[in-house]
Structure 1
């Protein structure tokens, strides 16, 4: 579905030289502070990340979206950025580090934060953890600002400052180098968000999240130059025509709760714009998918943390099995595991799942599997024909102990190397660890 788009919105890119520099804390605090100042803020997140955008959405009071130059073509990027219509400012949080990316290009780039910042003209605010350095922070900032093909550079925010003398030493060096300092954040340990495997504890699971975000906002407002940051925001060339991914048709029963939360907002937006009706239901509340749905979609999430509860959810499992007799069911990652015969948790306990696929997975000896994926479909997937080329990623800790069904797809990594995870297809039921982002 092609849509016209207009000018690129004004925005800023929040990036860092390394993980743990305070990028997410600054992003959330800045979004919330700008909203409290009366601005409408559109958040974006670089790359395949489900967790951070959920926090962005709570902070902004507005749906956040992912941007990914490896997995999205120019038309898809334009469509998603077009969702900033009506916002005063966009805040784009980078992933990992500013320039790090895959070795091989995807649809419109290699997945680097810098590519999106450069394409849409959003200047970089570089967050520097200066806890263990002083004037050398200037060398880091200058190197990032003058790197070949660098995006526009707004300035730096200093994080983990040890005191007034520490701040003066770094500010003096930044001034000598002509690098604006847009914030100076003292050390503050109480603002950290709780974490678990795969990232932060999900936004929906934190009852005190609004209070936490308000504390972050007050901290950023007290120690950053909000007016300077607003004035630093810029935009690049006009957006080209946008195109949303082709969706499955009809009524879509979508599992949504703490165990099934990893679905990209741009996909749901595409489904809705194509006229699909989204019918949310909660397996953890033992709800069956709507019997009138044309498709059941089980997203990824954390079924391993709720395996016993899912195994006991007879209304959900019975409804799912009944649906699969006549209409399609698809599971991504965690949803794929629930479609299998059994899920073995970290303690070695086996929990019976839906039994719609000949799959047994285990978390007893977890192994990290992470990376971009291209998928060539060997069986139809709702909304996509055999032979379709899809772009996505894989990120899980589970191991496959048994997989007896025909493969769903032929998968390769970002460099084109075959990967063993093929997914499964049996009748109207499909599943894979592959998370769909866009069609190639």
Structure 2
């Protein structure tokens, strides 16, 4: 029977991903089957999980998904020896208004599945106060069980001893303490970690993290703290409709932000997916029924996209007769122009009138609930779609027919409505699920 743990922290940037990858690889090196999941709307971390374990990782999200969908997704871990779910932000951080089965907090998943939490605590600039923080997190929500902590970035043996004694006094187990180790820091950019597929040395980096953590953390004690679980088969799978039978999917360094569970659900429903690279000046498959441009980093490659005439003309020809949809970065590329961070304006495909700019960056972040005012591939007028938006672009113009009435997690209407023109549609949010 598999066992499960949740890796969380008091806040972002403490070391959750590094510890998750290190534990996963260390246990895999011992011959254990390790399955990872990611709590919340992060489309980058699952690729790192897959690199560490050799098994696909997917997102589980209490704001956007119901319990049946989450049960369906985690059922892939029933043949594993140990399941690790990496949290997002702090343990209890979510939105103010409850979604489908929770607020999107990591604690929702821990309580729902009955998996104990291993906290990563960074005691930099403090000592005994770290124990007060851990104790507060332990006692904040009765249904969430704390297994223990791993200290990260301890300054010295004396520092470690002070923190350990304080944690012992409040009855919290310390599984290990990691000194500062810059060599295993994962590179970042403005939307999070640099993607796993862009890092040629990712395997070596994970191996080094596993070696380092194995030398400072009691892996056996962490493993013993995991809870046995037997997931009940879900009556229904994900409520996801493929956008078409044959899908041409843009896939490269500029177009890679797509949730793994979405692609799996499309395939499970019988859809066929063919990929193409706009950065390699490739056009979508002429035999496809629909073209889908996910988000990514088009702002880092705007000049190349603008210069790739075969891609642009091929996409425009495709859109004359068949639907094309873009999410976030893909939506920007369907527009008329994109101004990069240096103020240079680059012509995009012109299928929509949207014009965006990164010259003055402004963060747009949060869950989105969209009621479609016009159809988009796979979804009819009136469908209620749940997704997440995260970008730094500013809308210069959005002149086309609004695609949806979009609300944030508090119910407030937002200006990023998405657009529709002829066969082209686009949204700033990344689709996670449709309300049943």
Which residue, out of 72, 77, 80, partners 1:84? 77
Whether contact under 8 Å (1:389, 1:439) holds in the other structure is yes
Conserved in 2, the CA contact under 8 Å of 1:121 and 1:237? Answer: no
Query: Which deviates further from its counterpart, 138-147 or 403-412?
Result: 138-147
Q: What is the Cα-based RMSD across aligned positions, in Å?
A: 1.4
How far apart, CA to CA, are the structure 1 residues paired with 2:77 and 2:278? 33
2-structure distance, mates of 1:211, 1:340: 39
Matched, 1:299 2:294: yes
In the other structure, the counterpart of 1:141 is 134
Provide structure 1 residue ranges, at least 5 long, that are not aligned to the other structure.
1-6
Number of the residue aligned with 1:93: 86
Output one character per residue of 1:234-255: Cα deviation in whole Å (capped at 9) or x when no partner. 1457434242222223111111
Aligned equivalents of 1:432 and 1:248: distance in 2?
Answer: 14
CA distances 1:176-224 after superposition (whole Å, capped 9, x unpaired): 3221111111122222111111111111111111111111010111111
1:383 aligns with 2:360: no
Q: Which residue of 1 aligns with 2:6?
A: 13
Structure 1 stretches of 4+ with a deviation exceeding 6 A read none
Return the alpha-carbon distance in structure 2 between the equivalents of residues 306 and 218 of structure 1.
Answer: 36
The reply to whether residue 288 of structure 1 matches residue 283 of structure 2 is yes
User: Aligned pairs, how many?
Assistant: 433
Match of 2:106 in 1: 113
Residue 247 of structure 1 pairs with residue 242 of structure 2: yes
- Select 1:69's aligned residue among 62, 67, 81: 62
Corresponding residue number in structure 2 for 1:355: 350
Q: Distance in 1 between matches of 2:302 and 2:92?
A: 39
Unpaired runs of 5+ residues, structure 2, are none
Aligned to 1:234: 227
For the residue of structure 1 that corresponds to 2:292, the secondary structure is strand
2:146 match: 153
- Deviation track 1:277-322 (CA, whole Å, cap 9, x = no partner) reads 1101111011111100011000000001001111111111111111
**How far does residue 27 in structure 1 lie from its aligned partner after superposition?**
1.2
Q: Residue 52 of structure 2 is aligned with which of 59, 65, 79?
A: 59
In the alignment, the residues of structure 2 paired with residue 94 and residue 137 of structure 1 have an alpha-carbon distance, to the nearest angstrom, of 19
Could you say what secondary structure the match of 1:320 adopts?
A: helix
- Using structure 2 for the length normalisation, give the TM-score: 0.96
SS in 2 for 1:122: coil
SS at match of 2:317: helix
- The 5 A counterparts of 1:275-424 are 275-424=270-419
Tell me, yes or no, if structure 1 residue 199 matches structure 2 residue 192. yes
Residue 22 of structure 1: CA displacement?
1.7
* Distance (Å, rounded) in 2 between the aligned partners of 1:340 and 1:11: 44
1:183 and 1:241 map into 2 onto residues whose CA distance is 41
Secondary structure in 1 aligned to 2:72?
A: helix
Tell me if structure 2 keeps the 8 A contact 1:247–1:383.
Answer: yes
